Amino acid sequence: MAENKKSSSKKQSTPKIVVISPVRNEERLLPRTIESMAAQKLLPTEWVIVDDGSTDSTAEIVERAAQQYSWIRLVRRGDRGFRKLGGGVIDTFNDGLETTEIEWDYVGKLDADLSFGPNYLERIIQEFDADEKLGSASGKVYRPEQDGVVEEFMIDEMVAGQWKLYKRQCFEEIGGLVAEVMWDGIDFHKARQAGWKTRSFQIPELSIIHHRLMGSSDKNVLRGRMRWGFGQWFMGTHPAYMIASAGLRMAEKPYIIGGLLILIGYLKAAIQRKPRYGDPAFRTDLQQWQLGRLKQLVLAGQVR
């Protein structure tokens, strides 16, 4: 009986969760994200907010929050003079992760333009507990529009780059995050190739509200769509998959032009022979997976 009690106690022990947020000039939306995190029933062990050279009051907002909540910590980086997405975000993430002294079980990457319900962390950990092969997970992402919300489509195997959690073993086996524009596609496929499951769950408690149109944080959304196309080229996306995906993205804001710019960004990178992710085996496996997905999903209109 005592042995059963000990086993049960170990299973119910609180996981150590470290969350890292790379931020730059987020004074307008960051307070909402802090409110969401502070309301969690399961709080992170540590939330490291890395200020990437903000020129507004972002750092001061974090400092005030850190005075109120002992589990929030500010890390400052110098101002590079601009918002560097993709690789810059991951460089900033890595700087924050290197400063933690927590022996964490899970690490999360969280953007500063989100809100989410008070059960988010508790509920996502339940999903990890239910499946030992689940390596990375998130909820689904929605953006406010008029009187409701619109889902930012992603297939269930993808994990939202805005707010995702990794099990430590999975994170270490994929070698952490690649400091490139398509890092949140590369990590998904590397985890899959290593035998891990990845998932974004359609569960109300895991809804993520994104208060900025996806891809619009740097200048404007049109620039973001071009960057998206370049990122697909860099990752190694198959041309047929890219054409199908861009075509379906035309049905999303910004209508028509958004999908066209994704395709233009991809073709421009191809014509200019821009570098690609330096693992040929990864790219071969990726393209095989994409062609398989095309066969399964193109008729259903779900290739994104």
In a domain, residue 55? The reply is yes
- Based on the fold, state whether residues 149 and 279 are members of the same structural domain: no
3-state class of 110 per DSSP? strand
**Residue 107, domain member (yes or no):** yes
Same domain, 76 and 173: yes
- 36-70 in b/e burial notation, b at 16+ Cβ within 10 A? bbeebebbbbbbbbbbbbbeeebbebbeebbeeee
Quick check: is 293 in a domain?
A: yes
Distances (CA, A) of 169 to 104, 123, 135, 186, 201: 11, 20, 8, 17, 21
Length of the chain, in residues: 304
- CA dist., res. 91 & res. 89, Å (int): 6
Q: Cβ of 205: how many Cβ atoms within 10 Å?
A: 15
254 upstream amide cis, omega within 30 of 0:
yes
Last residue of a domain, one of 179, 210, 241: 210
Specify the CATH number for the domain of residue 39.
3.90.550.10
Q: Are residues 93 and 190 in the same domain?
A: yes
Q: What is the pLDDT of residue 290?
A: 95
> Considering 164, 191, 210, which residue would you say is the last residue of a domain?
210
Looking at the fold, whether 126 and 275 belong to one and the same domain comes out as no
Task: Assess contact for 26 and 105: CB atoms under 8 A.
Answer: no
**What is the reported pLDDT for 217?**
47
Within-domain flag for 304: no
Query: Would you say residue 215 lies in a domain?
Result: no
User: 229 with 170, same domain?
Assistant: no
Nearest in space to 72 (alpha carbons), one of 46, 51, 43 = 46
Q: In Å, what is the CA distance from 207 to each residue of 13, 35, 170? A: 25, 16, 23
pTM of the full predicted structure? 0.88
Regarding whether 265 and 153 lie in a shared domain, the answer is: no
- Domain span at residue 294? 221-298
Output the pLDDT for position 13.
86
- Do 122 and 265 fall into the same domain? no
- Cβ contacts of 272-278, under 8 Å, gap ≥ 24: 274/230, 274/233, 274/234, 275/234, 276/233, 276/234, 276/235, 276/236, 277/178, 277/180, 277/182, 277/186, 277/234, 277/235, 277/236
Are residues 271 and 155 part of one domain? no
Q: How many other C-beta atoms can be found within 10 angstroms of the C-beta atom of residue 17?
A: 23
Question: What is d(CA 266, CA 228) in angstroms, rounded to the nearest whole number?
Answer: 8
Indicate if 85 and 6 belong to the same structural domain: yes
In a domain, 286, yes or no: yes
Q: Which of 184, 210, 236 is the last residue of a domain?
A: 210
Helix axes 239-249 and 280-297, enclosed angle (nearest 10):
50
Residues ≥6 apart with Cβ < 8 Å to 203: 123, 139
Claim to verify: residue 204 and residue 87 sit in the same structural domain: yes
User: Do 102 and 40 belong together in one domain?
Assistant: yes
The answer to whether 106 and 58 are in contact (CB under 8 A) is no
Residue 60 lies in a domain: yes
Co-location of 233 and 192 in the same domain: no
**Residue 82, both tokens:** 């601009």
287 belongs to a structural domain = yes
Per-residue pLDDT of the chain (304 residues; tens, 9 = 90+): 343 433 333 445 899 999 999 999 999 999 999 999 999 999 999 999 999 999 999 999 999 999 999 999 999 998 766 555 557 899 999 999 999 999 999 999 999 999 999 999 999 999 999 999 999 999 999 999 888 899 998 999 999 999 999 999 999 999 999 998 899 999 999 999 999 999 999 999 999 999 987 544 445 688 889 999 999 999 999 999 999 999 988 988 889 999 999 999 999 999 999 999 999 999 999 999 999 999 887 566 555 4
Phi, then psi, of 94 in degrees rounded to 5: -65, -35
Strands (E), the chain: 17-23, 46-52, 72-77, 106-110, 114-116, 134-139, 141-145, 148-152, 163-167, 197-201, 208-210
The total of structural domains in the chain comes to 2
Q: Which two tokens stand for residue 267?
A: 């073709």
- Listed in sequence order, the DSSP H helices in 75-220 are 87-99, 120-130, 168-173, 183-193
